[in-house]
Structures are given as structure tokens and as C-alpha cells.
Structure 1
């Protein structure tokens, strides 16, 4: 039985079968996983509570209706059991596997995806129950990557010029910044190494803007005083004198 072809054929039937609702499909997939855990045996036993939980079906009535529908519509064969300790039996219908060898177990061949795991000796086969999942973390030195992104110093003065240009600053100011810190080995005034030249450039531009703003205020104040100087007089006039 080919695992991939089985699922593809099942999904094709789901697409064209208007009788199905989400509960039918969810239950089928839960049963398929249990079938997988039994290594695709001809028949396998199930527990109703476990199947309801796996399929996220909250009502026993809905569960029994769905499993009987799937049996009636030939997606599987359902053999109910009155023994709560034994469980009901299921035989899944095999689709589109005429070119595969018939057998009780799934035998993955070349190019097929092996779904079943070989159980450890003395342990039961894998169950459908979810297990703890590990988060795959790429083996990248995050510290080095962060330093690369930030950049302790620019690779070339063109990079600085482009940075200043994007902030509406002149090329000459970018070169002044670059030459200044290049001369001191990209260190701050207190001798500590610059960890992020972008931040240093932002601070440089901010200081430049504040300095220019102060110069404009100073010039405006001086020109205002000179504008009113011609109205001033040093002579004290005595308006009581006769004309």
C-alpha cells in the first residue's frame, strides 16, 4: 500500500463527495493516523474517547454518525464492539494501489515516504497521541550575526555618504564624520569602541541639526537688534522746553 497515493486518492474523493462534512474528514484522518501507528495492518482496534479527542468531535452522537457514514460510503469497514475493554475494529479501504504488493503491513519502497517508525524493543508501536516537539534552531552564531547586521564600522566611505544622503545631509558632512572616526580608530570620546556606527552617525546628524538651529536663532537675534538700533537715541529730550 502506497501511503502517498492512498492519501491523494482519499482527498480526491473528499473533494467530489458532497455528503461529507468537516467531522467526517477529521475522523477519517484520526483513523488514518491510528492505522499508520499499527503499521497499516489489515485491521486494528480503536478507542472511542481517543478517536473523538483526536478528531476534535465533542459529541458521541456525532462520532457514531460519522463513523457509520464512513462505513456506509465505503471509506472504511466498521465493526462495533460491545466490550468497552476491547474496542471497536476498523478496516480501512485501500485506494489506488493496484501496483503495490498486498500485505498486512506497509512496506515503503524507493522514493516513498516512510511514515511508520520502528519501535524500540520491548515498547509498543507508535500511538497517534501527540508527543513533545522540539524547536529546530539553526546553528548560527547569533552574536556574530547581530554584530554583522549592526556594523561596528562602515565597510567604505560610500556607505556613510549614502546613509547621510538618505537623511538629507550633504556629502561633505558624511566625509567629515567618516574621516573623524577613521582617524581615532572608531572610538568614542571616552576611548570606548563604537559598537554601532549607525547610531553614532544618527547622533552626529542630530548634533549637526541642533547646532545649525542655534546658529539661525543667534543670527536672527543679532539682525533684529541691528534693525531697531536706528530708532534708538542717546539724547534725552525735554519736552517741557518752549518751542
Structure 2
């Protein structure tokens, strides 16, 4: 059982978070959930993780996001993730002690049983490829931020205003369709939104619509050529 100083560890890992541009709030939320679980178990060398419990603690609602983020934390060397093929045993996790020196961390990492490492890590190239596929798959579900949506809209010749409308609309729905099913590919949905907005603008700017607006603006509804007998009851 490692000797973990709660305060020193948190100070050190939060400092590392601030320097790591690869992380987003979901990564940090996941790590804090794992750390809380680790603390609850009195800091064992490794421990089994309950996916439902970690998702609840980290406020992650998607299984795909859960797997993508926990694998990313392993790839970024914040944890060692040891997935299990046995659903009854569950996956295991090892957290490094950030309250110690980097040298001590490396000693801890190298001291893990070789069998455990084989379970946790596949070949380097395959690991990187799998991680990239998972990240790309996760990114299609919901965007990480409004900036990501704006950038996508600009790359597709759409305005920032349309991007903000799209983002705010689906943020309000919890990234779900009207039938409450989760959106699985926000980029495809965004392209559909962009096409509809462009079609609407084309329709609005058509000669027929312009003529209709001109007629509406020039028509004087206060004057009429019809003769009406106002003595007749309504």
C-alpha cells in the first residue's frame, strides 16, 4: 500500500493538470472520481473499478465517453488502466502517487507485476491506434465546447451566429433528439443544420420573396376602393 499524502497529492496533480493542454474537464472529472474511490479504499496499490459508480461520481452519462476518457488518462500516464475481459471481475486501475518525486513514480510503475502490465498494455502502435479511434468516435457524439462547434461551422462556411444557435439549442435538450434518444454524431447533425440554414437564406433572398416583401411594404391597407354601407349591422 503506497504512502499517499492526500493534500500533497492533490496539489501536485492539480498543478500538472494546469500545465497539460491535452486535458478537458471530462478528464479531470474522471480522475477526481477515481482518486475519491482510491481514497475511500485507503490507497491500495491497484483496485477494481465499478463503472456505474465512477460514471456517477464523475457526472459522465455516456459509456462511450467513460471508456474513451479512462483510456486517455492511461495513455497520458495519469493512471494505469487494466481492462478486464471478465465482466464478473471488472477492470482494475492503478493511480500514481503525485505527492512523490517523478523518480519514485517510475519505480512504482516499473514494480507492477509483468502479468498485470500485459493485461493493461498491448503493443505501442496498436494502443495508439485504438486510442485515436476511441477519441475520434467519442468526438462525434457531442462536442467538447462551444469553440469546437464554432470552428466546425466556420470550416463549413457557416457563421458564428449559426454555430451558437446550434450549440445552445442542443445544450438545452441535453444533446438529445425530441424522442429523447441521444445524439450519436453531432457533426452530421451540424452539417444538416448548416444546409437547412443555407436553404432558408436562399429562399428568403429569392426574387419572388423580395417581390412579396416589397408588395407587403407598399400596400396601404387603410385605403380601399370597395364601397361599404356602414349602416348595415355586423
TM (normalized to structure 1)?
0.40
Larger Rg: 1
Return the structure number with greater helix share: 2
- Which gives a bigger RCO, structure 1 or 2 (Cα 8 Å, sep 6+)? 1
TM (normalized to structure 2)?
0.41
